[in-house]
Structures are given as structure tokens and as C-alpha cells.
Amino acid sequence: MPQLDISTYASQLFWLVVCFGVLYVLLSRLALPRIATALEERRDRIADELDQAAQLKSQSEEVLAAYEALLAESRERAHALSQETRHKLQQEAEAQRQKIDAELREKVADAEARIKDSRAQAREQLQGVSSELAGLILQRLVGTSVPQQQIDESVAKALKHRS
Amino acid sequence: MFITPAHAASGFEIDPMKQFEIQTLLPLEVGGVNISFTNSAAWMVIITLATYVFLTTAMRRSALVPGRLQSLAEISYEFVLGMVQQNAGKGSLPYFPFIYTLFLFILCANMFGMLPYAFTVTSHIAVTFAFAVFIFIGATIIGFVKHGVGFCQFFVPKGVPIFLLPLLVVIEIISYLTRPISLSVRLFANMMAGHAMLKVFAGFVGALGLIGGWLPLGFMVAFTGLEILIAFLQAYVFTILTCIYLHDALHMH
């Protein structure tokens, strides 16, 4: 078994110490720090970018919230405006209706007064015509003339009685 | 010690242990100690260079969005970092470069060992035991530096009847002392056994020839896949046990 040949041990150990020592110095001084830096740079970069992404996200969330607040506010305002408008229109319509009502009532009252007038006038005329007629009839039938005053009175009495 | 059926059957010279032989490429002796540049040393140099070249080319243009090589380098970094943080706990970060180097060195050694004609550095007990002893001594020193004499409490289990305590302390100390042995033998034995097994079956392929050789060849293909898994797994196990020993030294429980 060549492994048990003690004469080779010194050489093996010597070259092992040399090679491993050199490799250790090279790696610990040169190679490993470079890998560590590369890894750290990448980790930093990723962390930075994650931070940035989080920041952007919160920013966009803020904007979204502002937008939604604005939207809600304008919706509310629109609602209030429409309510107000409806109210105003209703009031206006009511006022107009009342005005028209009053006018109509006035007109009706007017018309009624006119009717009353006309009726009174008609009655007066009727009275005049009746007493004239009565006077004429009396003259023709009886041949006497009754004083106009008396005829007037009795016609008025009769008419009042009738009506 | 290994049967070589190829040799017996048809004159094929396949010795499953020959691949583990250390051949001197460049004789070298300092102060009477033989430190020749061998095939083992050559592969260690290859591992060192390959690891360093891989990591530097991967990170040369350190891009924000990594390419394939850079991803691989970063994945290996984060894999080992996760392992250290999860298993060694707080205060283990200063030891991360060592554990990372350890993981990559053993992984490369195991993986390069899967190449045909390659030499597996970690198939030698001298190498794995050196690692294990270094880790064991290092962890023990860290434990005593961090907790002072209080680190001895590590060997005293809590909530145990007083009359059992002496026995348990002895057992704890023995189990602690066998750590470097189990750690090194596990890696070395896995690497050696797998590679030797592949060679044995390669011998079968040669011995059975065109007619019967397909069966062991198919097995070898499947077993090579398993060996690659084991090469990774053993590097992982070695590293994670190192992390656990470090955790014991740092936190004592």
C-alpha cells in the first residue's frame, strides 16, 4: 500500500503546506473579498430597488387616495347641487302655481262681480221695462193713467217678491 | 493484498494500488529531508492553480447579473458561507476563508482524481491526516483561547449521575481525541476504496474481453457516476465536520 510508505510523507506534507498555504493566502486576500463585494453590491442594489419600489408604491397609493377623496367630494357636491336645484325648482314651481292660482281667483272674482253687476243691471232694466209695459198695458186696458211712481213701486214689489 | 484477476487470466498488468504510488518527478532534499517534487505535489499545484484561476476568471468582470462562471463562484461562496454560519454559529466568520479554501481544495483534489491517469491527492492518509490534525489542534487552541480552562467543561456532560461522571469524562475525551483519526480516515478510505474498485473492475473488463467485458464496463460507468457523487460528498462531509468542531470550540455545546 503506497499510502503507508513513510518516506513519502515529508514531501507530501511539505507540498501540501506550500500549496494550501498559497491557496489560502490567495483566496482570503484576493478572491474571496472580490466575491463578497460582488454579492454585497448586488444585495445593496436589490435592497435599494426594493426600497424605491416600496416608495413608489406608497406614492401611487397616496395619489390614488387623493383621487378617490376628490372623486367622493365632487360626487357629494354634485349630489348637493342637484338637491338644491330640485328644491329651488320646486319652490319656483310652487310660487308660480300660487301666483297663477291667485290670478285665477282674482279673475273668477272679477267675473263673478261682473256677473253680479250684469244681473243687477238686467234686473234694473227689467224693472224699467216692466213698469213701462205695465203703464202701457194699464192705459190700453183701463184707459186711465196711473202715476208712474205707483207703477214703479208695485212692479218693484212684485219683482222682489218673485225673486 | 488485492486480487488481480486480469493479471491471472490474460497477462494484463493491472494493479489497483499502482495508481496511488508516489513517483518522484524532481528530486529535492533540504537538510536531509526528502521533499522531492512528486506527482502528488504536481497535482496539489494543479489544484491550487485551477482553484485560483477559476475564481479570478469568474470574478474578473464582476457583473451585477452574473454569468455562468461568476454564478458558480458565487454559489460556492454562499454554499460554504451557509454551511459555516449554520454549523459553526456565531463568531465563526473569521474562519470562513480557511474553511472555504479547505472545501475547494478537497473538492478539487477529489474531482481531479476522477480524471483518467490523474493522481488523487486526498487518497493519501498523510494529506488527510495533516488536514485533520491541523483542524483538531486549531479547534482545541481556539477553544482554550476562547474559554480558558473552562473549555475542559466540554468533556463533562451535563445532567449525569455523579458516579458515572468519571467514566463518561474518559469516554468524552477519547471520542474527542479520535476525531482527527475518523475525519482523516473517512476521506482517505473513501477515495482510495472507490478508485481501487474502479481499477479492479477495469481489470475485469480487460480479462473478460470483447465478449464478457461489457458487464463490468457498464458497472464502471455507473460506478464512476457514484464516485463523482462521493467525491463531492466527502469534501462536504469533511468541511461540515470541520464546522462542527469549530462550533464545539466556539460554543462548547
Which one of A4, A23, A35 has the shortest CB-CB distance to B101? A23
Compute the distance between CA of residue B96 and CA of residue A123 in angstroms, rounded to an integer: 135
Residues B80/A2, Cβ–Cβ less than 8 Å: no
Torsion of CA A72, A78, A84, A88, to 10 degrees: -170
DSSP state of B161: -
Tens digit of pLDDT at every position of chain A (163 positions): 888 888 889 999 999 999 999 999 999 999 999 999 999 999 999 999 999 999 999 999 999 999 999 999 999 999 999 999 999 999 999 999 999 999 999 999 999 999 999 988 888 888 888 888 888 888 888 877 777 788 888 877 887 776 6
**Whether A141 contacts chain B with CB within 8 A:** no
Which one of A15, A26, A45 has the shortest CB-CB distance to B40? A15
Compute the distance between CA of residue B236 and CA of residue B125 in angstroms, rounded to an integer: 18
A1 and B1 in contact by Cβ < 8 A?
A: yes
Does ipTM exceed 0.90? no
Distance between alpha carbon A84 and the CA centroid of its chain, in Å? 8
Residue ranges of the alpha helices (H) in chain B? Answer: 5-10, 39-58, 68-88, 96-112, 125-147, 165-177, 179-212, 214-251
B130 and A38 in contact by Cβ < 8 A?
A: no
Q: Write the CB contacts of B17 (distance below 8 Å, at least 6 apart in sequence).
A: A1, A2, B1, B2, B196
Average confidence (pLDDT) over B97-109: 96
Alpha-carbon distance A68 to nearest alpha carbon in chain B (angstroms):
40
The number of C-beta contacts closer than 8 angstroms across A and B is 127
Read off the pTM.
Answer: 0.74
Compute the distance between CA of residue A123 and CA of residue B29 in angstroms, rounded to an integer: 168
DSSP state of B150: G
What does B193-208 look like in DSSP terms, one character per residue? Answer: HHHHHHHHHHHHHHHH
Compute the distance between CA of residue B37 and CA of residue B39 in angstroms, rounded to an integer: 7
pLDDT band for B120, please (50, 70, 90 cuts).
Answer: very high
**Whether A162 contacts chain B with CB within 8 A:** no
A16 and B127 in contact by Cβ < 8 A?
A: yes
B99 to chain A: closest CA residue: A24
**Whether A58 contacts chain B with CB within 8 A:** no
What pLDDT is stored for residue B13 in this prediction? 61
| Helix/strand/coil (H/E/C) assignment for every residue in A18-77 | HHHHHHHHHHHHHHHHHHHHHHHHHHHHHHHHHHHHHHHHHHHHHHHHHHHHHHHHHHHH
Q: Residues B76-84: contacts with CB within 8 Å, 24+ apart?
A: B76/B100, B76/B103, B76/B104, B77/A32, B77/A35, B77/A36, B77/A39, B78/A39, B80/B239, B83/B236, B83/B239, B83/B240, B83/B243, B84/B243, B84/B246
Alpha-carbon distance A29 to nearest alpha carbon in chain B (angstroms):
9
Average confidence (pLDDT) over B72-91: 93
What pLDDT is stored for residue B6 in this prediction? 43
**What's the pLDDT tens digit per position in B178-236?**
999 999 999 999 999 999 998 888 888 888 888 888 888 999 999 999 999 999 999 99
**What's the pLDDT tens digit per position in B6-47?**
444 444 567 888 888 888 898 988 888 889 999 999 999 999
What pLDDT is stored for residue A163 in this prediction? 62
pLDDT band for B106, please (50, 70, 90 cuts).
Answer: very high
What pLDDT is stored for residue B12 in this prediction? 55
